Amino acid sequence: MVLLILAAVSGTGKGTVGRALLARNPDLKLSVSHTTRAPRRGEQGGVHYHFTDHDDFRARIAEGGYVEWAEYVGNLYGTARQTIEDARAAGHGLLFDIEVKGAAQIVEAYPDDAVSVFLLPPSWTELADRLRKRGTNDEADIARRLARGREELAEARWFDHLVVNDTVERAVDELESIYRSAKTRTAGRLELLEALRAESA
Ligand code: 5GP
């Protein structure tokens, strides 16, 4: 099973790139996270996020319900263990739209399955412009996201791949080629190999 992690500084366009990748690859599904953040206009519970409150989120942490979780600009975000178990049972891959600390935790927990990609903006100026044009964040939130983004950029060097989102089409092509090659990794195909070896014995 491929666990494709897509991290980026907020505003880079990872939502757009991720959605385009999912549209092209029906065997890859979005890992829908839990968050304490309020829904933005147009966001639906169960589709974009499972929206929840602090008490519920903390209770799930206490019972070990998250594979990873992190605080981001005042809110909590996490990946339910069940999401990964369900994907394994259903036999499809998962795309994670998560920040860098959560990304590191998924890589640590699933080293054979995880492939990490950090999506870079073409420039910092363009990133700040995109955040402002998005219009869903106020100036204080934008400033906090940019500050957090500077910290996240320092972690980007530990990712398996760096992809620049200069045009969505090109970025999605690169991401898709990463996903395709991840599907053939030996660690994920050992059952095939074992079956063939058993047959050949
Ligand atoms: P936003 O509020 O813009 O939807 O998300 C803020 C940040 O939280 C983004 O970098 C997003 O990728 C990240 N994020 C979303 N879901 C999760 C999650 O389940 N775990 C972690 N660690 N980060 C997440």
In a domain, 150, yes or no: yes
Distance 7 CA to ligand 1 centre (A): 9
Does residue 39 belong to any structural domain of this protein?
no
Number of neighbouring beta carbons within 10 Å of residue 86: 14
Domain CATH code at residue 175? 3.40.50.300
Q: How confident is the model at residue 188 (pLDDT cuts 50, 70, 90)?
A: confident
Task: Count up the domains in the chain and report the number.
Answer: 1
Pocket around ligand 1: residues whose beta carbon is below 6 Å from it? 10, 33, 37, 68, 70, 72, 77-79, 97-99, 101-102
Specify which residues 29 forms β-bridges with. Answer: 94
Whether residue 68 is contained in a domain is answered as: no
Residue 50 lies in a domain: no
Residue nearest to atom 11 of ligand 1 (CA): 98
Whether residue 45 lies inside any domain: the answer is: no
Task: Give the pTM.
Answer: 0.94
Residue 57 belongs to some domain of the structure: no
> To 10 degrees, the CA torsion angle through 18, 20, 25, 29?
40
Q: Distance (Å, rounded) from C-alpha 48 to C-alpha 93?
A: 17
Residue-wise pLDDT tens digits, 12-28? 999 999 999 999 999 99
| pLDDT exceeds cutoff 90 at 31 | yes
Q: Is residue 128, in this structure, part of any structural domain at all?
A: yes
Q: Convert the pLDDT of each residue in 62-94 to its tens digit.
A: 999 999 999 998 999 999 999 999 999 999 999
Establish if 71 belongs to a structural domain: no
Tell me the residue range of the domain where 175 lies.
3-31+92-200
Residue 184 scores a pLDDT above 80? yes
Q: Pick the closest to residue 61 from 48, 80, 82, 46 (CA basis).
A: 80
